[in-house]
Amino acid sequence: MQEKIAQKGSFGDKLSRLLQDKGITQKDLAQAIGVTTAMVNRYIKRNVKPSLETIKKMSDYLTVPSDVLLDNTPIYLDDSDNDGGNDNSITWKMRALEAERKLSIIQEGFETLGATIADLAKIFSKT
């Protein structure tokens, strides 16, 4: 069975779902990220977007990649190995997804760098 952790939808919808799934109150989140409870409520109800710094604090506190809050892609996790609702398995999977994404970006960078070096080698070999 797969569990949809972050649904497609607005930033507020995703934040609300993550708080609910993790049993975190708006007040707890507000205290953790240094804003008022009213501001967290605005993020959820009025779809007010926080700064990137605040999003980073939220993702760290909620132990999810920032992408989960920012993009419009749902994250599905197989919860069959989630030992009785323990969030450790979900946290590990979220971190693994973030690491995979970063690795992909690094690999693309190396491919581009390799192509650039090859182009430079051609230029210098002609001279």
> pLDDT at position 3, please?
47
The pair of structure tokens assigned to 17 is 């779902």
Per-residue pLDDT tens digits for 28-70: 999 999 999 999 999 999 768 888 889 889 988 988 877 777 7
> pLDDT at position 89, please?
55
Residue that wins the pLDDT comparison between 47 and 20 = 20
Nearest to 69 by CA among 5, 117, 2: 5
Based on C-alpha coordinates, what's the Rg of the chain? 20
The pair of structure tokens assigned to 66 is 């920032």
Per-residue pLDDT tens digits for 87-123: 445 566 666 777 777 777 888 888 888 888 988 888 8
pTM: 0.54
Quick one: average pLDDT of 77-95? Answer: 51
